[in-house]
Amino acid sequence: MKTKKILIVGGGASGLCAAIMARRKGYEVTIVDKNDTMGKKLLLTGSGRCNFFNKDMDLRYFHSTDPALISSFVDLETIKEVLPFFKSIGILPEDRDGYLYPSTLQASTLREALIYEAENLGCTFLPSFDVQKIEKKKDLFYIYSPDVVLTSDYVVIAAGSKSYPKTGSDGDSYKLASSFGHTIREVYPSLVPLKGVGSYFKRWDGVRMKASLTARTDTSILSTSNGEVQFTDYGLSGICVFNLSGEINRSLHQGKKVFIDINFLYTYGITTMEEALSFFNERAHILSKRNLRIFLEGLFPYKLVPLFIEKASLSKEQVYADLSLDEKKRLVNLLLSFTVPIQESLAFNRSQTSVGGISLLEVDSSSMESKLEKGLYILGEALDIDGDCGGYNLGFAWISALKMGKSLEEVK
Ligand SMILES: Cc1cc2nc3c(=O)[nH]c(=O)nc-3n(C[C@H](O)[C@H](O)[C@H](O)COP(=O)(O)OP(=O)(O)OC[C@H]3O[C@@H](n4cnc5c(N)ncnc54)[C@H](O)[C@@H]3O)c2cc1C
């Protein structure tokens, strides 16, 4: 049989994995990337350690404009094939509370293993190749850079989303796919810090504390997330904020008002007014004469205490035991549900992934082949599927590439 040519646009996570899978099936594989090296973004992942997968791949960690389709794209059978794939290229996982990293805790290990395997199998790398346009004439794809035109039997769009454009992923996937008639679902930054509305953010800048966050609109709860929050001079950051950001951006772009309610007592296991009042009464019994500032400083980072006292319209010299029930409730209410109105997220250059993208409705979930153009495949973050922090976005990059590879006929 004649060797079939596959050209992969994007030598990132999904592109490199797909190249290996296709070459193992006997295809002639070329990977082009606009950067001068492959896998640039991979080096930044997991703060340089690359959280490449998770032990718990539950569907609740994934999001899409068409949530009902997620289960067919993130299927159990392919999830089970991810770690064996990495074992086959020499990567063993290090399990940190279910978050999986390469055992060296170095992103470069995983990137090098992918590149080495692809090179060793005979894939051709064409760095600094910026794909501007793809056309299909008869049965052949024509792939245009500003100075070269290549042809291929199959094309894979693995050019990422709009997040972290300095890594090369700047939205070209959408342009290339839409030239074949694909629908692009609205794209927003996700896994990104959030800007609040308020004049007090400079006062809590630099604080880190565990808290429970509830994102809501005027009328409904969007999502909750618990963990360490980073308080910044513009609002909120940290993993648990990132995990709310995609859904918040969707609501903000629908013109809704969005708020985050912070439970600062979460770290003490307190979620209700009753529990909080009893906790504080017991504390007041032990620290009977202490003023409010000292009383609260033992519980919260010192930068937060004057802010809490002021916002509850109390004075730092007051003693907790002497407060009226109304005053106690006012303070406790603030600590249980400190509301930050959200203005917007930071931009794509600070977002780890993007909400939205190429519609899942137009892609075959078993092969990742376009339903609109035979021989065109679409992988990874370019698609309208995004995950929480924890290895879910790289997880989907591998899953989509493995699906494509499995579906290819052997040409050996
Ligand atoms: C700072 C940061 C940390 C992250 N940490 C994690 C983590 O720990 N765990 C996790 O699961 N996810 C993490 N992510 C997300 C993860 O990196 C992405 O989801 C994943 O890389 C997407 O893979 P991809 O193959 O779809 O696209 P990418 O890896 O973005 O690769 C796309 C490639 O296509 C190339 N390209 C784009 N346009 C063209 C064109 N026109 N011509 C040629 N080439 C083109 C780009 O140069 C790029 O190399 C992180 C992201 C960032 C930014």
Q: Is the CB of 111 under 6 A from ligand 1?
A: no
What kind of architecture, by CATH, is found in domain 5-189+352-407?
A: 3-Layer(bba) Sandwich (3.50)
pLDDT in tens, 327-363: 999 999 999 999 999 999 999 999 999 999 999 999 9
Q: Which residue owns the Cα nearest ligand 1 atom 20?
A: 394
| Ligand 1 atom nearest to 400, measured from its CA | 26
Q: What is the 41 CA–ligand 1 centroid distance (Å)? A: 5
Please state the pTM of the whole predicted model: 0.95
Q: Burial of 172 by CB count in 10 Å (0-12 exposed, 13-18 middle, 19+ buried)? A: buried
Q: What is the 169 CA–ligand 1 centroid distance (Å)? A: 6
Q: Is the CB of 391 under 6 A from ligand 1?
A: yes
pLDDT in tens, 51-75: 999 999 999 999 999 999 999 999 9
Strands (E), 61-148: 62-63, 93-96, 99-102, 124-126, 133-137, 140-144
pLDDT in tens, 123-177: 999 999 999 999 999 999 999 999 999 999 999 999 999 999 999 999 999 999 9
Mean pLDDT of the chain: 97
Average pLDDT for 231-253 = 96
Tally Cβ neighbours within 10 Å of residue 135.
12
Q: Which of 64, 98, 91 is nearest to 396 (CA)?
A: 64
Beta strand 353-358 with 28-32 is unpaired
Residues of the chain with CATH 3.50.50.60: 5-189+352-407
Q: Is the CB of 158 under 6 A from ligand 1?
A: yes
pLDDT at 288: 83
Confidence at 248, pLDDT banded by 50, 70, 90 = very high
